[in-house]
Chains A and B, each alone.
Chain A
Amino acid sequence: MLRRGNSELIKQGARITKELITHFPKSGGEVAGLWAEQGSGKTAFLVTVAGRTAYFNEKNRRLMKETVIWRGRPKDNWHLVEGKKFCVHIHFLDEIEFLDKNGTPITDLQIFKYDTAEDIIKNLKRGWVNVYYEPQNYLMDEELVEEIRKKQFIDTFPEVADPIFFTYELVYYIERYKRHDEFITFIIDEADELFEANPEGIKHHLQSWFRKTCLRDLRKSKLSFILASHDYREIDYRIMFKLMNKIYFPSAAIPPARYKSAIRKKDFAMRLKMGQYLIEKKGNFGIAEYDEINTDNSVRAVWIKQK
């Protein structure tokens, strides 16, 4: 029997990648999981994808820059995105200073302050990379708390929630209040913080609620999600079943068939070179590549004061 040839892998890799970053009203958004070991080019890939995501505008029948929402982390590389402008959203009680790799403050940043998730939606720059930093002291929206309590049958809810829960709130409100024809891509690095495997207590309920309420209809709502982490086993299995695309970087572990992976050779990703990735969708898979970026040139966020 013939083995699947390299030319077929290259064709499929290009096709699936193109579908991942180019969104059409008919097909909607994409939900992708990305797994890479430390230092195998995950951030460089995310930076490239953020700059290349596009949607098809039916009015003028052209590909337009898609709005990207990037979950900011203390050490990040969003400023390396090419082809799109970027702005930062921070909570009004937080004072954050952004430093370049030499420790010099970056002053020419467009910063928006927010109080609630709705403020971010109001200030969202279309076609830009919108970086948000979760609030340090976070009180979850009352309306949302009530909704989660009802749906998850829970009596108590912590008054001060973990700041990472703000992302759930943001996705929930964006899905509800964004313009129907608008496409948005969420890029979440270190996604295991948000969707950790075997969560306990309230986090278990929140992840379950998020899957049922938000993740189920992301594609139809024209929202795309790219979740990056080191290993598929770090991600909640309930979230794993919702992933339409799976991306593996060199030496990443490939999940078993029960997680809807069509790749039978589990050591396939071991053969990849740096700058290459394996991508699969609906039983097809292929290989593609991207240019290297010097991610040593990172932006450091320093919380200098809390009012």
Chain B
Amino acid sequence: MASQPVKEMFGQLIANYSLVSGNYELLREAEIYLSMIPAMLEEKGKLQEYSTILSDLEKRYDSAVKTIDDFQGGWKVSRMQIRHIRKEALKIALKENLVVLRQDMVSLNQMNRTLDDPEED
């Protein structure tokens, strides 16, 4: 089972790519999904269950790599494939609880709420 820090790190890796727009950066984001999710699923013993979807995503990734430099319009198809990878991969990650996408900020008001009074010693 993936530990909490690993899930947080995965969420952080994804978050780092949430604002990027370059073709190669999007490819790298897809690589993160396709390397981390199968590993985490294997750890959980659920890799077999998702093998068809994952091999489809791998194929889409390969075709995206082939066409990403095609200035005739192939890169647009490539980006569509990557978007599909992102959608499906996130669906699996959230369903199988593999990722922590956001951690709530800690509030000062939650700290030291119940304190004893020294005057009553």
Encoded as 1 (CB less than 8 Å from any B CB) or 0, chain A from 233 to 273 comes to 00000000000000000000000000000000000000000
Select from chain A the residue with minimum beta-carbon distance to B15: A6
Q: A7-B8, A64-B118, A65-B116 are in contact. Are A290 and B109 (CB under 8 A)?
A: yes
Which residues from B are CB-within-8-Å of A6? 12, 15, 103
Stretch in contact with the other chain, from A17-25, A112-120, A206-214, A223-231 = A17-25
Q: Does A126 sit at the interface, judged by CB under 8 A?
A: yes
Within 8 A of B (CB), among A263-300: 276, 287-291
A65 to B9, CA, bound (A): 37
Select from chain A the residue with minimum beta-carbon distance to B8: A7
Select from chain B the residue with minimum beta-carbon distance to A60: B116
Question: Chain B interface: which size bin?
Answer: 20 to 34
Do A289 and B105 touch across chains, with their CB atoms under 8 A apart? yes
**Other A-B pairs beyond A7-B11, A52-B113, 14, CB < 8 Å:** A6-B15, A7-B8, A10-B106, A18-B111, A21-B111, A53-B112, A57-B118, A60-B116, A63-B112, A65-B116, A288-B108, A289-B106, A290-B107, A290-B108
Q: Does B117 sit at the interface, judged by CB under 8 A?
A: yes
Between A and B, 10 residue pairs with Cβ closer than 8 Å are A5-B8, A6-B12, A7-B9, A13-B105, A17-B106, A52-B112, A63-B116, A64-B117, A288-B106, A288-B108
Do A83 and B107 touch across chains, with their CB atoms under 8 A apart? no
8 Å CB contact of A49 from B104, B108, B115: B108
Q: Does A45 sit at the interface, judged by CB under 8 A?
A: yes
Q: Nearest Cβ distance between residue B49 and chain A, in whole angstroms?
A: 28
The 4 residue pairs across chains A and B that have the minimum distance between CB atoms: A5-B12, A14-B106, A290-B108, A127-B118
Which residues from B are CB-within-8-Å of A289? 105-108
Q: A3-B16, A22-B111, A52-B112 are in contact. Are A10 and B117 (CB under 8 A)?
A: no
Q: Does A304 sit at the interface, judged by CB under 8 A?
A: no
Within 8 A of A (CB), among B7-61: 8-9, 11-13, 15-16
Taking each of B9, B12, B16, B108, which has the highest tally of chain A beta carbons within 10 Å of its own beta carbon?
B108
Do A125 and B111 touch across chains, with their CB atoms under 8 A apart? no
Q: Nearest Cβ distance between residue A48 and chain B, in whole angstroms?
A: 5
Do A21 and B112 touch across chains, with their CB atoms under 8 A apart? yes
Which residues from A are CB-within-8-Å of B113? 52, 83
Q: Does A68 sit at the interface, judged by CB under 8 A?
A: no
Q: Nearest Cβ distance between residue B98 and chain A, in whole angstroms?
A: 15
Which residues from B are CB-within-8-Å of A63? 112, 115-116
Q: Nearest Cβ distance between residue B102 and chain A, in whole angstroms?
A: 8
Q: A21-B112, A288-B107 are in contact. Are A127 and B119 (CB under 8 A)?
A: yes
Q: Nearest Cβ distance between residue A148 and chain B, in whole angstroms?
A: 33
Select from chain B the residue with minimum beta-carbon distance to A288: B106
Within 8 A of A (CB), among B67-121: 100, 103-109, 111-113, 115-119
Select from chain B the residue with minimum beta-carbon distance to A126: B118
Do B16 and A2 touch across chains, with their CB atoms under 8 A apart? yes
Which residues from A are CB-within-8-Å of B9? 5, 7
Do B111 and A126 touch across chains, with their CB atoms under 8 A apart? no
Taking each of B13, B16, B104, B118, which has the highest tally of chain A beta carbons within 10 Å of its own beta carbon?
B118
Q: Does A122 sit at the interface, judged by CB under 8 A?
A: no
Do A291 and B109 touch across chains, with their CB atoms under 8 A apart? yes
Do A54 and B103 touch across chains, with their CB atoms under 8 A apart? no
Q: A5-B16, A7-B8, A10-B103 are in contact. Are A65 and B108 (CB under 8 A)?
A: no
Q: Does A62 sit at the interface, judged by CB under 8 A?
A: yes
Do B112 and A17 touch across chains, with their CB atoms under 8 A apart? no
Do A83 and B16 touch across chains, with their CB atoms under 8 A apart? no
8 Å CB contact of B111 from A8, A17, A62, A127: A17
Do A7 and B12 touch across chains, with their CB atoms under 8 A apart? yes
Which residues from A are CB-within-8-Å of B16? 2-3, 5
